[in-house]
Amino acid sequence: MRGRCRYRGAVLLETLELARENGAKPEHLRALLESWLGGEPLRLDVRGFPPARRLVAALGTIEAQLARIGRVRSEHPSSDGATRLLIELADGAAVESVLLARGGLCISTQVGCAVGCVFCKTGEGGLVRQVTADEMLAQVALARARAQVRRVVLMGMGEPAHNLEHVLAALRVLGAEGRFAHKHLVFSTVGERAAIEALRVHAVRPALALSLHTTRADLRRELLPRAPKLEPREVLELALDYSDAITWPLQVQWTLLEGVNDGDEELQTLGDWLAGRRAMVNFIPWNRVEGFAFARPAEERGKAMVAHLRSRGIIATLRTSGAQDVEGACGQLRARSLPLRRRTGARAATEGSDSSALSAPFTPQ
């Protein structure tokens, strides 16, 4: 994941280069990037740096190139105030983002997913392809053109750790030109050692959400068949150590499956592991997916689990997933407009430009 990878597309890089060729100074590039990421009309106004005439003339072409990265094919408002966005990418692939209530945005980092969580629709067809950094940023830009976004969570389609090079490049931009506080960026993962180690030394260190779901090694292998072969306690300690280093609490994600991982023994073990640690637990009742043989526990059971952990001094919540009525909740996202082609390689790459060049041009010097 740290090596040199190749992916299709780098439209943002090409667009910035076009602007340079037409006389853009670093200050103009920054203004272009900030306005695009903000979902605003592109601007070149920089105090003390009047743009060249040819750069002003090229603004329409620059805008058209950025629009190529992705477009909203359809919007699906939910009764709870969330909105699922179906986004078509330049090659016809599709990803989904969810505008959440209170300024949150959930974005996708892959088309499909290779982890294959048995309770999640996204991974049912395997991994189709990686999402490039500019495609992740486009999801933010398109969402901000529709609503205020104060927090970005990488919890949509895909496992961010399996597309780490592009995810890190996107995080760098979101933390700089995107003007997001690092703690308002959330990296969600099933727990990849190399990814967590890379985050520790990255310029932008986001909050971490760990999809744990169980304390039992045998059950975790069954629920997350292609997750790293780490014991639940081991992956939890890796994540807790990272959160100690960045001083923001770890978010432990736990999809509640009736009769599977909602028992007293699991709850007791989880409480033992988290006692006195910098963490919070989000219990997420399973969101119904057609054809999947699971059920969510009664609400009273979820509340009792939260109460038990709170009685031990552990922050815990019973989370209601937004956009359930438009299939935009956790575990329901999928590439609806694209027949999924099964690929199980977590690092399957598509041909194209070199992602190792992504980070430098995004932050003009």
Q: Give, for 165, the enclosing helix (H) or strand (E).
A: helix 164-175
CATH superfamily of 72-356: Aldolase class I (3.20.20.70)
Of the CA atoms within 13 Å of residue 101, those in its CB half-sphere come to 10
Cα-flanking dihedrals φ and ψ of residue 354, to 5°? -85, 115
Average pLDDT over residues 92-97: 92
Please tell me the distance from the alpha carbon of residue 137 to that of residue 132, in angstroms, as a whole number: 9
- Given a cut of 60, whether residue 299 has pLDDT beyond it is yes
- Given a cut of 60, whether residue 76 has pLDDT beyond it is yes
pLDDT digits (tens, 9 = 90+) for 249-274: 999 999 999 999 999 999 999 999 99
3-class DSSP state for residue 62?
Answer: helix
Q: How many CB atoms lie within 10 A of CB 274?
A: 22
| pLDDT confidence bin for 321, thresholds 50/70/90 | low
CA Rg, the chain, in Å?
21
- pTM of the predicted model as reported, rounded to 2 decimal places: 0.87
User: What mean pLDDT, rounded, does the chain reach?
Assistant: 86
Start-to-end CA distance of the chain, whole Å, equals: 27
Least confident of 80-89, 156-165, 182-191, 194-203: 80-89
Q: Annotated catalytic sites, by residue? A: 96, 330
pLDDT digits (tens, 9 = 90+) for 325-360: 444 445 444 555 544 443 333 333 344 444 444 444
